[in-house]
Structure formats: structure tokens, C-alpha cells
């Protein structure tokens, strides 16, 4: 059910997520209070204590979930930076190679980078890699394999270019793997803990200030859960933009 909100427009998704959390939370609160009030005789000590413990556990679970997705986002960012740096290194080394054949390869590398932005990125939103980008990568590999170094410098450059191309392929798979990963399992446990917290609120009568505070708490939990879910799929909705590739594309065009 939580994935449904991620597939919507970010603004609509976060709004509906917060509203759903408020509706679920207040519903559980009112039902819980109705049940607890039948057996409550003026002493709300045990339920209140339980509320504090459960609230702390839910906060801890939310913190762990959010920290996990932020750590994953940073890892993906690092992979993207390394991938872009490898592409730029290949471009520079092709310039240093000084051969007529490398001119066409450089143009092919520019086309590949453009395809990463316009083909790969939209495809990653659907959990796959772009077909055009894959085809260009294969063509790039074939053209590089046809180069025949004649000097010691060219041999060293070819070896370095091959290593960089391997790194490009590896980091591209890191992007794909990030789209296939599922949100942390304990996100769903956190949602159940949130409902249990709302049930513990039932130890208190539904006065207007309390209902407002409960609603705000529920809306905040809905916001955090939405962020966790949407950041778990960083190439869909509020995610990672190909800004780094756009920058190196401009650099390569200026140097070509």
C-alpha cells in the first residue's frame, strides 16, 4: 500500500500519505479510547507508560529507516560521481591518444553521455536500463577494441581507458541495482508501531488540543514514511537528477 504513494506526483503523494496517516491514526485513536474507557477507572498510568515506550521505539525505527535510505543515497551519489569521472577520463585520454580514429570515438562517447541523461535515467524510473544506452556502450567497446597502439604512451592510455570503461559499466549496474532494491522491511514494522502508538493515545479522552496534537504527530509520521519510501527508489519521483552527467557533457562538448 505504501508503494502506491511513491508512484504518484511527489506533491500529491506526500499530501495523500500525510492525510492517510492522519485518518488511520485518528481512527485507531478513537476506537482505542472507546475500548479502553470501558475498563478505565480514572487511572491512566499503565497505558500512559506503555505509550511512552512504544513512542520511543517508533521514533527509533523511523530514525534507523531514514538513516538507512540516506546512507544508500550517498552510496549511489558516490557511484554516479565515479561513473561520470571515468567517462571524463576516457574523453581526456582519447584526446591524448592523438589518432584520427579517436575523433569518432569521442563523438560516440558524447552520444553515450547524452543517452545516459535522456534514455538511461527515464528507464531507471521503470527499474531497467535504457536500450539505446546499452547499444551505444557496446558500440563504444567495439570501437575501442579496434584501436592499435603504436607507441608506449598509447599502450598505457589504452590500458587506462579499458579500466575506466570497466568502471563505467560497474557503476551503471550500481544505478540499476538501486532501483531493484526494496524499502527496508522494518518500514512496515514502523507503520504497525505507529498504529500501536495511536492506540496508546486512547488512554486519554479526545479533547480538541489532544486531537490536534495527535493529528499533527500522525501527519509527521506520514511525511517521514513517504520520504523513506520515495528515497528507497531514488530514480523515481523525488530522486537523483543526472546533474553530474549534464556537467561533464558540457565539458566534453567544449573540449571536442
Record the pTM: 0.77
SS (HEC) of 172-208? HHHHHHHHHCCCCCHHHHHHHHHHHHHHHHCCCCCCH
Q: What is the pLDDT of residue 194?
A: 86
Whether 196 maps to a domain, the answer reads no
Cα separation of 219 and 211, whole Å?
12
Q: What is the pLDDT of residue 252?
A: 87
Whether 71 maps to a domain, the answer reads yes
Cα separation of 15 and 4, whole Å?
13
The count of domains in the chain is 1
Whether 72 maps to a domain, the answer reads yes
Whether 22 maps to a domain, the answer reads no
Which residue range(s) make up the domain with 84? Answer: 62-182+232-255
Whether 95 maps to a domain, the answer reads yes
Give the single-character DSSP code of 38. T
8 A C-beta contact, residue 141 and residue 165: yes
Whether 18 maps to a domain, the answer reads no
Closest listed residue to residue 179, CA positions, set 132, 133, 137, 236 = 236
**Long-range Cβ contacts of 150-155 (<8 Å, 24+ apart):** 153/96, 154/97, 154/99
Whether 193 maps to a domain, the answer reads no
| Residue 80 burial by Cβ neighbours in a 10 Å radius (0-12, 13-18, 19+) | buried
Cα separation of 220 and 36, whole Å?
25
In tens, the pLDDT along 60-118 reads 888 888 888 888 888 899 999 999 999 999 999 988 887 677 888 899 999 999 999 99
Which residues of the chain are modeled with pLDDT < 70? 1-3, 6, 40-52, 99, 183-184, 237-238, 256
CA dist list (Å): 107 to 10, 30, 101, 203, 239 = 36, 65, 11, 69, 29
Whether 55 maps to a domain, the answer reads no
Amino acid at each position: 500500500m505504501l508503494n502506491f504513494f511513491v508512484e504518484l506526483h511527489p506533491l500529491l503523494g506526500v499530501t495523500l500519505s500525510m492525510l492517510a496517516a492522519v485518518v488511520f491514526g485518528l481512527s485507531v485513536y478513537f476506537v482505542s479510547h472507546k475500548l479502553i474507557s470501558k475498563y478505565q477507572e480514572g487511572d491512566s498510568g499503565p497505558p500512559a507508560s506503555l505509550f511512552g515506550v512504544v513512542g520511543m521505539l517508533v521514533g527509533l525505527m523511523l530514525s534507523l529507516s531514514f538513516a538507512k535510505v540516506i546512507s544508500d543515497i550517498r552510496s549511489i551519489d558516490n557511484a554516479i560521481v565515479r561513473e561520470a569521472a571515468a567517462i571524463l577520463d576516457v574523453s581526456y585520454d582519447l584526446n591524448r591518444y592523438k589518432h584520427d580514429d579517436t575523433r569518432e570515438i569521442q563523438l560516440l562517447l558524447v552520444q553515450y553521455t547524452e543517452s545516459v541523461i535522456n534514455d538511461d535515467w527515464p528507464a531507471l524510473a521503470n527499474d531497467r536500463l535504457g536500450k539505446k544506452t546499452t547499444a551505444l556502450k557496446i558500440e563504444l567497446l567495439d570501437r575501442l577494441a579496434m584501436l592499435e597502439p603504436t607507441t608506449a604512451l598509447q599502450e598505457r592510455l589504452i590500458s587506462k581507458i579499458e579500466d575506466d570503461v570497466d568502471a563505467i559499466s560497474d557503476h551503471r549496474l550500481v544505478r540499476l541495482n538501486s532501483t531493484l532494491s526494496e524499502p527496508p522491511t522494518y518500514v512496515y514494522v514502523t507503520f504497525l508501531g505507529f498504529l500501536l502508538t495511536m492506540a496508546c493515545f486512547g488512554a486519554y479522552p479526545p479533547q480538541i488540543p489532544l486531537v490536534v496534537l495527535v493529528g499533527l504527530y500522525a501527519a509527521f509520521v506520514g511525511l517521514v514514511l513517504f520520504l523513506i519510501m520515495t528515497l528507497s527508489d531514488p530514480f523515481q519521483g523525488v530522486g537523483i537528477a543526472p546533474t553530474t552527467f549534464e556537467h561533464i557533457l558540457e565539458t566534453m562538448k567544449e573540449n571536442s
